[in-house]
Amino acid sequence: MGMIQRAERPPHGEAWTTATRRVTLFKSIVVGTDGSDTATQAVRQAVELAHSVGATLEIVSAYEPVPAQRLNEERRQAPEDLQWAISPREDVDATLEAAAEVARQAGIEAAVYARQGDPADAILDVAEEREADLIIVGNKGMTGAKRFLLGSVPNKVSHHAPCSVLIMRTT
């Protein structure tokens, strides 16, 4: 984050100088979203951080498949030319597109990942696959006794992450 002054050892026989180097603290940042207001706040903060350090953004959302009965009903009600768009992950695709748009508006390169299953596992898997330097999650669900009984996405991510974790205050 910014410039670091670093003294470098000069070649043999030359004088010491101070060189200025740009150090990239984070190259790849993973952020999870479920489309909620608090998750959107975490995405915005991740976008700001990515912008300030020149990192790319990996946006993750987990989903449970839509029941076949609901899909069939929606397809029957949709016009023929739109039936192809009704899929088990249509909701998560819309969530990811909205988050990616936030990144695009800030000029940040972002990739999106829809993963079936547990949200924390989805975030951890993408962080590992993309060799992320940082995971950003919101703090929602970390207060009260529930965090000890049920666990939470931030809690699980912070204990199992392959990289640094930043828990943003979003509540």
Report d(CA 40, CA 97) in Å as an integer. Answer: 12
Q: In the prediction, which pLDDT does 65 show?
A: 72
| Cα torsion through 37, 43, 49, 50, rounded to 10 | -160
The pLDDT, as a whole number, for residue 121 is 95
d(Cα 73, Cα 75) in Å, to the nearest integer?
5
What is the mean pLDDT for each group of 10 consecutive residues in the chain (171 residues)?
48 52 77 91 96 95 77 66 56 91 95 93 97 92 46 86 93 74
φ and ψ at residue 149, rounded to 5 degrees:
-85, -45
Q: How far is CA 136 from the centre of its chain?
A: 6
Give all domains of the chain, ordered by start, each with its CATH number.
25-168 (3.40.50.620)
Distance CA 27, CA 56 (A): 6
State pTM to two decimals.
Answer: 0.73
Other C-beta atoms lying within 10 Å of the C-beta of residue 76: 9
To 5 degrees, how large is the angle CA 114–CA 115–CA 116?
130
> How far is residue 86's CA from residue 70's CA, in Å, rounded to a whole number?
10
Give backbone dihedrals phi and psi of 160, rounded to 5 degrees, phi first: -125, 5
What Cα–Cα distance (Å) separates residue 46 from each residue in 72, 115, 131, 134, 165?
A: 37, 20, 17, 10, 12
